[in-house]
């Protein structure tokens, strides 16, 4: 199993799961924006030139959520996903998909507009709107986390998806001073040895 990885990317989610499960894997590291990720060889495995990519025997997957579902289904014996009869199953599904459906689109706009675009192409209106929407999305997580340690009962892949997105928003500079539940939640996640290792590979 080979994980194509870059720090501060969605590949951290996959490495986190692999570390929690204690699975053996090879890692190929890149820096975001690395020219190697636009090389013909890399574009053969991911035409978008992005990470993560997981190569496992004859299977190649390029979306972090799909990779996590694949690993759990093939290797985890249903660990990190509640059973369908479990009262937390619907919550698990909700929060597993919340990251990419709600949080990351706003973060992508902010990163592009404030970091990637040259000054003459930046649009402050886009930044303000994305920042406002991101705050609303994070408030939904803040409210849900009242009295909870994890998003859906015990630690699950929902935390690896949406928890990671929440951590990334904090690293991007979102102020959590009025979000005490998220402060505790991100600290709890970052204290896990598996995530500590995954973040710094």
Give the CATH number of the domain where residue 67 resides.
3.40.30.10
Q: Is the pLDDT of residue 115 over 90?
A: no
Half-sphere exposure of 25 (CA within 13 A, CB side): 27
Examine the pLDDT at 81 and tell me if it is beyond 90: yes
| pLDDT level of residue 116 (50, 70, 90 thresholds) | confident
Among 75, 99, 114, identify where a domain stops.
Answer: 75
In a shared domain, residues 62 and 93? no
Q: Provide the number of structural domains found in the chain.
A: 2
Q: Is 82 among the domain residues?
A: no
Asked whether residue 130 falls in the same domain as residue 35, the answer is no
> In terms of domains, do 44 and 100 share one?
no
What's the pLDDT at 33? 83
36-79: pLDDT as tens digits: 999 999 999 999 999 999 999 999 999 999 999 999 999 998 89
We report the CATH number of the domain holding residue 94 as: 1.20.1050.10
pLDDT, position 104: 97
Q: What percent of the chain has pLDDT over 90?
A: 93
Per-residue pLDDT at 72: 96
Give residue 108's pLDDT band: very low, low, confident or very high (50, 70, 90).
Answer: very high
Q: What is the pLDDT of residue 14?
A: 98
Q: How many CB atoms lie within 10 A of CB 155?
A: 19
Residue ranges making up the domain that contains 33: 2-75
**What is the pLDDT, as a whole number, of residue 60?**
98
Which of 47, 75, 103 is the last residue in one of the domains? 75
* Residue 169 covered by a domain: yes
Single residue among 45, 75, 105 that ends a domain in this structure: 75
Average pLDDT over residues 117-126: 92
In a domain, 71, yes or no: yes
2-6, strands of its sheet edge to edge: 26-30, 2-6, 53-56, 59-61
Tell me the average pLDDT across 86-101. Answer: 97
For 30-67, the DSSP string reads: E-TT-GGGGSHHHHHH-TT--S-EEEETTEEE--HHHH
- One domain for residues 23 and 52: yes
CB 110 within 8 A of CB 127: yes
The answer on 151 and 98 residing in a single domain is: yes
**Sequence-ordered list of residues with C-beta below 8 angstroms from that of 3, at least 6 positions apart, any chain:** 11, 14, 15, 18, 25, 26, 27, 28, 52, 53, 54
Q: Identify whether residues 127 and 54 lie together within a single domain.
A: no
Residue 83 lies in a domain: no
26 and 120 in one domain? no
Give the mean model confidence (pLDDT) for residues 146-156. 97
Residues 118 and 68 grouped into a single domain: no
**Averaged pLDDT score across all residues of the chain:** 96
Same domain for 116 and 35? no
DSSP 27: E
My answer on whether 65 and 98 are in the same domain is no
66 domain-assigned? yes
Q: What is the mean pLDDT of residues 114-119?
A: 87
Residues 185 and 125 in one domain: yes
Q: Nearest CA to 165 among 113, 112, 110, 100? A: 100
The pLDDT-based confidence of 26 (bands split at 50, 70, 90) is very high
């Amino acid at each position: 199993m080979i994980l194509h990885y870059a720090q501060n990317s969605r590949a951290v989610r996959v490495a986190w799961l692999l570390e929690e499960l204690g699975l053996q894997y090879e890692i190929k590291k890149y820096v975001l924006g690395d020219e190697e990720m636009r090389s013909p060889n890399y574009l053969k495995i991911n035409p978008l030139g992005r990470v993560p990519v997981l190569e496992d025997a004859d299977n190649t997957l390029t979306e972090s959520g799909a990779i996590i579902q694949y690993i759990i289904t093939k290797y985890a014996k249903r660990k990190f996903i509640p059973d369908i009869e479990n009262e937390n199953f619907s919550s698990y599904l909700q929060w597993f998909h919340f990251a990419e459906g709600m949080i990351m689109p706003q973060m992508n706009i902010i990163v592009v507009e404030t970091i990637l675009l040259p000054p003459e192409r930046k649009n402050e209106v886009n930044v303000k709107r994305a920042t406002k929407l991101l705050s609303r999305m994070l408030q939904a997580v803040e409210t849900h986390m009242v009295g909870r340690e994890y998003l859906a009962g015990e630690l699950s892949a929902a935390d690896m998806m949406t928890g990671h997105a929440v951590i990334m928003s904090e690293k991007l500079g979102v102020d959590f001073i009025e979000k005490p539940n998220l402060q505790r939640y991100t600290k709890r996640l970052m204290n896990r040895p598996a995530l500590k290792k995954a973040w710094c590979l």
